[in-house]
Chain A
Amino acid sequence: MKNLQKTYEVTQKVERLFEVTVTQTDFWEAVLYISTQTEFNTLSQIACADWIEEEHFLLTYILTTDARDKNLMLKLTLGREYESMPSVMTLFPQAEVMERDLHEMYGIGFEGNETLYDFVLEQWHDLPPLRREFDTLAFVHEHFAFKGGREDNKDVKVEQKRRREEAKKQKALEAAKQEAKKQETEKQETEKPKEPNTHATDAEETQDKKPDTKEAEDGQ
């Protein structure tokens, strides 16, 4: 770590993660120095991000120590127009697969890596699919057909919002209707005299009693 801080500007990102930024020309020197003279002697990952607006790739070589207690991000930018990098296979043999993957997905060349043929995509003749100018949806609609019956398919979140709002409106309408009904019934009760109500209850009671007697007769 002290060796590294003497020669490069090291910024600490979080507790166990450090960052060094180099240029494309200084990369090989830096990675050689770091892997031999400092404690970060293992390559764990090569990450790549496509910054299409700024017209470069951001490559991040993530190096770890033997004890796996610290990580170092070695960052550099690379032009987007099919430029190439020196391969780090001589220092880290495991870089073979990572470089193959980057070559296939972004079209980055690696000088010294002889295995840059088909990897996951087999006989792929289109643009490298993780470059951002590759239009995935257009490719899908060009090469595949979907089953019918999903033409009314809508964006889920928009549809959810619309349905919630509709449900709210309907609830409000129903509540208003119920309130109106209640008010009407209250008005009718207040307007009506009390005597007919008592008659009605008597009639109901007599009706209830009748079927009982009938059943009793049938039974006899």
Chain B
Amino acid sequence: MQKGFVAYNNEQKSLEAETEGIKNSQTLIQKAMNWFSARSMFVVAYGTGCGAIEMPPVFTSRYDIERLGVVGVATPRQADIMIVSGYCSLKTLRRVIRTYEQMSEPKYVIALGSCTINGGMYWDSYNTIKKLEEYIGVDMYVAGCMPRPEALIEGFVKLQESIRNNTIQPGYVKYREDYAYYQANQEKLLGKETQPVYEEDYAGMNLS
């Protein structure tokens, strides 16, 4: 398993070394890869906050985003996109970080609603985070409180365009390169246990 991982890492590094100088002028393979990844976006089924209510109409027959190549998927291991839909409490943030780190690259994050940008109406709440971009890499913001499904679809389309044309530096690259920055922010807020612990033996209750 380790050998495979090392081989994968080397392959990844060689790919990055090749593409470093030609970020704007893509190779043919890169173009094809970007085209494919823009046309097949698998969204992990995970909702935080009130924006989770706006997502079902997007994925069902009313707006039917599957016509744009966006499909829901049950596990983060197979997903390309995570939507952080609305306010994100400290307890949720631990789950968000775990989900984000479980996703395989290339992965993108759409932040839905004003709460993820600057706290929104929860700007003075002790229990919700204010800027999502401090804790994970964010690719697309959709502002509003709450944004309508049309706005979310526009966010998807813009993200697809930017992936296809390679116009932005993806959030996961930032997250990988500046991991120390993100980790420091996470630990400052959440303590050293930045991810949820499920196996803890609470006050005489055996949860395992």
- For chain A, which range describes its interface: under 10, 10 to 19, 20 to 34, or 35 or more residues? 20 to 34
Q: A122-B196, A144-B119, A146-B119 are in contact. Are A114 and B204 (CB under 8 A)?
A: yes
Question: Closest CB-CB distance, A120 to chain B, in whole Å?
Answer: 7
B91 x A129 contact (CB < 8 A): no
User: How many inter-chain residue pairs (CB < 8 Å) link A and B?
Assistant: 57
Q: How far is the CA of A80 from the CA of B119 in the complex (A)?
A: 32
Complex-state Cα separation, A117 to B197, whole angstroms? 14
**A123–B134 contact, CB under 8 A?**
no
A163 vs B117: C-alpha distance when bound (angstroms): 28
Q: How far is the CA of A116 from the CA of B202 in the complex (A)?
A: 9
Q: Does B131 contact A (CB under 8 A)?
A: yes
Q: Check A114–B131 contact: CB distance below 8 A.
A: no
Q: Answer yes or no: A121 CB below 8 A from chain B CBs.
A: yes
CA distance A117 to B202 in the complex (A): 7
With CB as the reference atom, state the residue of chain B lying closest to A126. Answer: B126
Q: Which residues of A contact B125 (CB under 8 A)?
A: 136, 140
Given contacts A145-B131, A147-B117, is CB(A136)–CB(B124) below 8 Å?
A: yes
Cα distance, A136 to B127, chains bound together (Å): 10
- Which positions 95-112 of chain A face chain B at CB distance < 8 Å? none
The verdict on B21 contacting chain A, using a C-beta distance below 8 Å, is no
B203 beta carbon closer than 8 Å to chain A:
yes
Complex Cα distance, B130 from A140, in Å, reads 9
Within the complex, what minimum Cβ distance (angstroms) separates B22 from chain A? 33
- Verify if B29 is at the interface (C-beta below 8 Å from A): no
Q: Given A122-B94, A123-B190, A123-B193, does the pair A140, B203 have CB atoms closer than 8 Å?
A: no
Contacts of A156 in B (CB 8 A): none
Q: Does any Cβ of A come within 8 Å of B191's Cβ?
A: yes
Residues from chain B with a CB closer than 8 A to the CB of A116 are: 203
Closest to B133 in A: A147
**Assembled-state Cα–Cα distance A143/B205 (Å):** 32
Interface contact A140-B190, CB-CB below 8 Å: no
Interface residues of B in 188-208 (CB under 8 A from A): 188-191, 193, 196, 202-205
- Whether the pair B189, A143 counts as a contact (CB closer than 8 A) is yes
Q: Is B117 in contact with A121, judged by CB distance below 8 angstroms?
A: no
B153 within 8 A of A: no
> Which residues of A52-109 are within 8 A (CB) of B?
none
A139 beta carbon closer than 8 Å to chain B: yes
Residue of A whose beta carbon sits closest to that of B117: A147
Judged by a CB distance under 8 angstroms, whether B123 is at the interface is yes
Report yes or no: B126 in contact with A139, Cβ–Cβ below 8 A.
yes
- B131 and A146 contact, CB distance less than 8 A: yes
Given contacts A115-B202, A134-B126, A144-B131, 8 further A-B contacts (CB under 8 A): A121-B90, A125-B191, A129-B127, A136-B125, A140-B130, A143-B188, A144-B129, A145-B134
A sample of 30 inter-chain contacts (CB < 8 A) reads A114-B205, A115-B205, A116-B203, A117-B203, A117-B205, A118-B202, A121-B90, A121-B127, A122-B94, A122-B196, A123-B193, A129-B126, A134-B126, A136-B124, A137-B124, A139-B126, A140-B124, A140-B125, A143-B126, A143-B189, A144-B129, A144-B131, A145-B130, A145-B131, A146-B123, A146-B131, A147-B117, A147-B118, A147-B131, A150-B118
